[in-house]
Amino acid sequence: KNQVEQSPQSLIILEGKNCTLQCNYTVSPFSNLRWYKQDTGRGPVSLTIMTFSENTKSNGRYTATLDADTKQSSLHITASQLSDSASYICVVSLNYGGSQGNLIFGKGTKLSVKP
Amino acid sequence: GAGVSQTPSNKVTEKGKYVELRCDPISGHTALYWYRQSLGQGPEFLIYFQGTGAADDSGLPNDRFFAVRPEGSVSTLKIQRTERGDSAVYLCASSTGPASTEAFFGQGTRLTVV
């Protein structure tokens, strides 16, 4: 069964600190993996997109890694800011022709950044 | 339009009533998705359209839920005989096609059944 699991479920950190969110997946055939940020009451917004051959991709203070062999990804946030408080959702995409429109969602990690 | 637009942004309805939720995808996007997100959870797949047809509706929880996309653009999610358990945020997303590398989301419709 195609699944995406994220950990931790929730996380509280102090402003300025770094943190790392984890994503494990069992999805086949794999196409790409995305991390989305979802602010409360808003739709998810894409942070990074990684294909099978990419190991690391950065977007400002966000750095995503992908290990396609172990089927694991992480999202590292550097020098956290209060505005980073949100849910971070890992989404794995099946190859063309997959069911469900090829997007498999994790349940998300709720990050709270405190002053 | 510039982005995916969903209306209304909030909807409160009484148990047993019928509701319609609308999604305007990005112009030219052929793929359209509906998801349901309960509090503290990730989005759960409901239905996926490629053009006018529902390519996969396996996520619809029961026959009270139905969605259409008659002209391959705007989509309407319809819920009959609403129940309190239907309360959630309903998200719509669109992409250029099934092999697209990214889907763009609307802000969602928060449905509350009282």
Mean pLDDT per block of 10 residues along chain A (115 residues) reads 91 97 91 90 89 91 94 97 96 68 83 96
pLDDT of residue B98: 66
Mutate to test the interface with A, among B39, B100, B111 (most CBs of A within 10 A): B100
Whole-number pLDDT of residue B97: 76
Predicted confidence at residue B56, as pLDDT, reads 85
SS3 A84: helix
pLDDT attached to residue B78? 98
pLDDT value of position B88: 95
Which has the closest alpha carbon to A25: A65, A72, A75, A94?
A72
Give the pLDDT of chain B (114 residues) as one tens digit per residue: 579 999 999 999 999 999 999 999 999 999 999 999 998 788 888 998 989 988 888 889 999 999 999 999 999 999 999 999 999 999 999 988 766 667 899 999 999 999
CA B49/CA B33 separation, integer angstroms: 6
pLDDT, tens digit (0-9, with 9 covering 90-100), for A67-80? 999 999 999 999 99
Which pLDDT score, from 0 to 100, does residue B12 have? 97
> How confident is the model at residue A70, as a pLDDT?
94
Residue B9 phi/psi, 5-degree rounding, is -80, -30
What's the confidence (pLDDT) of residue B111?
97
CA–CA distance, A21 with B37 (Å, rounded to integer): 20
Instruction: Please answer yes or no on whether B55 and A49 come within 8 Å at the CB atom.
Output: no
Which stretches of chain B sit within 8 Å of chain A by CB? 4, 31, 33, 35, 40-45, 48, 50, 55-56, 58-59, 91, 93, 98-99, 101-108, 110
